[in-house]
Amino acid sequence: MNRQTQNEPAELALWPRPLVDNITVATTGASGAAFLKQILVILERDERVKVVNFIPSENALRVMAEELGLKGRSHLIWQLLGTESEKIKPLNNADIGANVASGSYPAQAMIVLPCSMGTLARVASGVATRLIERAADVCLKERRPLALCVREAPLNKIHIRNMWRAADAGATIYPLIPAFYNLPTTLDEMAQQYCHRVLAHIGLPQDAAYQWKVKP
């Protein structure tokens, strides 16, 4: 049975969602690379997921170098996961003709984690000169789940307006705000719970996710 909010058009009712086995993950120049690393780790282990198209921006590479100690683009997945991956496929953000740039390619959802305010602005404005924004634009036009994990503080009026515009177009604004009610003891635990929530939102619930007042 579909669940539909009062003002939501029928074509935007996304619950229940089909199984997601082909997902796009993008990362931009906002701080929070530890969260990006954890979502890739989780997706690599999730046997339901067959393909992860991974798009790092140039600014994201710099953030990952500073926050995770990565050294350049070479062997990027190995640097992030400590192993190579057959399912995670790095894409160049300048390759506007890559698979995820077309609505005919069967990517079923997209997460931008973290999502910078610049990326948000381009998505909200329909400016798609790079692959990340084009892939996001495809999700919006095809009515596919798009989670923008925005990371900025404080927010000015332009940021808030852009979040409203992106949400009005069909994106989910999923601020990079971790939970504390599960009493995380490490940064990895904090990042994992956040990623579990985002993945559940797009149709990939995780068995390891903490659920408030739900007995194991």
- Domain harbouring 132, CATH code: 3.40.50.1950
Parent domain of 183: 25-202
Residues pairing with 23 in the sheet: 52, 109
How far, in Å, CA of 62 to CA of 84, rounded? Answer: 21
Is residue 94 one of the residues assigned to a domain? yes
Is residue 171 one of the residues assigned to a domain? yes
Is residue 209 one of the residues assigned to a domain? no
Is residue 124 one of the residues assigned to a domain? yes
Number of domains composing the chain: 1
**This prediction's pTM:** 0.89
Query: What is the pLDDT at residue 13?
Result: 46
Is residue 19 one of the residues assigned to a domain? no
Is residue 14 one of the residues assigned to a domain? no
Query: What is the pLDDT at residue 10?
Result: 44
Query: What is the pLDDT at residue 17?
Result: 59
Dihedral of CA 165/166/171/172: which sign? negative
Q: Which parts of the chain sit beneath pLDDT 70?
A: 1-18, 215-216
**Kind and range of the H or E element at 24?**
strand 22-27
Name, in order, each residue with C-beta under 8 angstroms of 61's C-beta and a sequence gap of 6 or more: 70, 72, 73
Is residue 96 one of the residues assigned to a domain? yes
Query: What is the pLDDT at residue 3?
Result: 40
Apex CA 202: angle with CA 196 and CA 206, to 5°?
Answer: 30
Query: What is the pLDDT at residue 5?
Result: 42
**Neighbour-count burial of 129, counting CB atoms closer than 10 A to its CB (0-12 exposed, 13-18 middle, 19+ buried):** exposed
